[in-house]
């Protein structure tokens, strides 16, 4: 089953608030589309997703029929950036986000509209559970991130990717790096064409480039190492969430939805080989490539320990320190507790 692919909107920013991101804002997306999974007894749950590998629990839950089994009406909305997902929730045109949606984008949305959402699952990654990486051309002479001084580095769209790319190169010792935003699907091509010297990117990009012989990984798990200060620290860079309004109006449906979503999480954690085919149609991964992509870890909000919250908070505090968040965002208050 293929997801619904939605075009980017060219409308003006949705909100012009002091509490929102200083530049850019959140662009509206047109989300009208038929549901993927129909159920007569449940309100529609429109979940936005960004086409990266860490969204696999959601993809698997759809493909395996877990939502249908729970009597749920779920619609998958494929969008081009985490901001598109977040602003759809603000606009009331999506009830939530799938894993892989940038947590910082959700933080900005929470600032723009306090109490907007609750995070029920994250996809923590590090040097073991790989999602984030710097890649270069296969034959590039660059051997370390520190050697990117004076170079052009691409990253995915959105403020989370830009801030993290800049932070990593700075903390790795590179100076005068130009960071440019590009759709994640253009990262490999931009390196091959010589438009950029490296990319801060997310899986499945690194795996695709490695297997087709065009790029190689310069370093993986860079956010845990350079931002959190520990290569094995959990970077909660992506989050699945539901709007607080939906949770309040439909508490029973919310519980059934999260339980069905957790079936997807459990499948990925316990039987990744069975889950991997769900990447097809939702990401750029096709065929045998689905067997090669590294898997992120996953954590339900009800399983968070104080140390997990502390690392998540450290990540959010970077955006406050950089002036991207206009105020401190309390991670603990954003977590769903059943």
Per-residue pLDDT of 89-127, as tens digits, reads: 999 999 999 999 999 999 999 999 999 999 999 999 999
Domains of the chain by range and CATH? 4-126+235-334 (3.40.190.10), 132-220 (3.40.190.10)
Indicate if the alpha-carbon torsion angle 247, 5, 90, 322 is positive or negative: positive
pLDDT of residue 141: 98
Kindly state the tokens that stand for 34: 């038929």
| End-to-end CA gap in the chain | 31
Sort strands 299-300 and 117-122 into parallel, antiparallel or unpaired. Answer: antiparallel
Residue ranges of the chain with per-residue pLDDT less than 50: 1-40
Read off the tokens for 178.
């130009």
| CB-CB contact of 72 with 122 (8 Å) | no
Q: What is the pLDDT of residues 302-331, one digit of tens each?
A: 999 999 999 999 999 999 999 999 999 999
> How high is the pLDDT of residue 7?
36
pTM: 0.84
For residue 242, what pLDDT is reported?
98
Q: Is the peptide bond before 192 cis (omega within 30 degrees of 0)?
A: no
CA 20 – CA 184 distance, rounded (Å): 24
The answer to whether residues 33 and 73 touch, using CB atoms and an 8 Å cutoff, is: no
Contact residues for 18 (Cβ-Cβ < 8 A; gap 6+): 326
pLDDT for residue 41: 57
Residue 119 near residue 241 (C-beta atoms within 8 A):
yes
- Give 277-286 pLDDT, tens digit per residue: 999 999 988 8
Give the CA-trace dihedral at 249, 255, 261, 267, to 10 degrees. 180
Q: How far apart are CA 334 and CA 115, in angstroms?
A: 8
């Amino acid at each position: 089953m293929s997801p619904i692919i939605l075009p980017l909107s060219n409308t003006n920013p949705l909100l012009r608030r002091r509490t929102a991101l200083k530049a850019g804002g959140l662009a509206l997306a047109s989300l009208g589309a038929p549901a993927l999974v129909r159920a007569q007894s449940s309100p529609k749950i429109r979940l936005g997703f960004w086409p990266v590998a860490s969204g696999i629990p959601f993809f698997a839950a759809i493909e395996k029929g877990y939502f249908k089994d729970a009597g749920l009406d779920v619609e998958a909305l494929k969008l081009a950036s985490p901001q598109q997902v977040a602003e759809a929730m603000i606009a009331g045109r999506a009830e939530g986000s799938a894993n892989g949606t940038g947590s910082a984008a959700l933080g900005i949305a929470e600032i723009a509209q306090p109490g907007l959402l609750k995070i029920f699952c994250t996809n923590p990654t590090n040097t073991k559970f790989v999602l984030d990486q710097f890649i270069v051309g296969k034959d590039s002479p660059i051997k370390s991130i520190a050697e990117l001084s004076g170079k052009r580095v691409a990253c995915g769209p959105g403020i989370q990717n830009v801030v993290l790319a800049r932070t990593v190169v700075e903390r790795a010792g590179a100076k005068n790096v130009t960071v440019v935003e590009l759709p994640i699907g253009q990262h490999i091509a931009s390196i091959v064409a010589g438009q950029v010297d490296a990319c801060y990117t997310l899986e499945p990009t690194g795996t695709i480039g490695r297997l087709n012989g065009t790029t190689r990984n310069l370093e993986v798990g860079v956010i845990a190492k350079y931002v959190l200060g520990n290569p094995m620290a959990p970077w909660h860079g992506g989050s699945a969430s539901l709007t607080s309004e939906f949770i309040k109006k439909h508490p029973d449906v919310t519980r059934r939805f999260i339980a069905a979503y957790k079936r997807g999480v459990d499948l990925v954690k316990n039987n990744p080989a069975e889950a991997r085919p769900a990447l097809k149609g939702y990401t750029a991964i096709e065929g045998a490539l689905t067997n090669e992509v590294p898997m992120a870890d996953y954590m339900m909000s009800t399983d968070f320990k104080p140390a997990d919250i502390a690392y998540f908070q450290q990540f959010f505090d970077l955006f406050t320190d950089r002036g991207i968040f206009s105020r401190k965002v309390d991670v603990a208050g954003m977590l769903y507790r059943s």
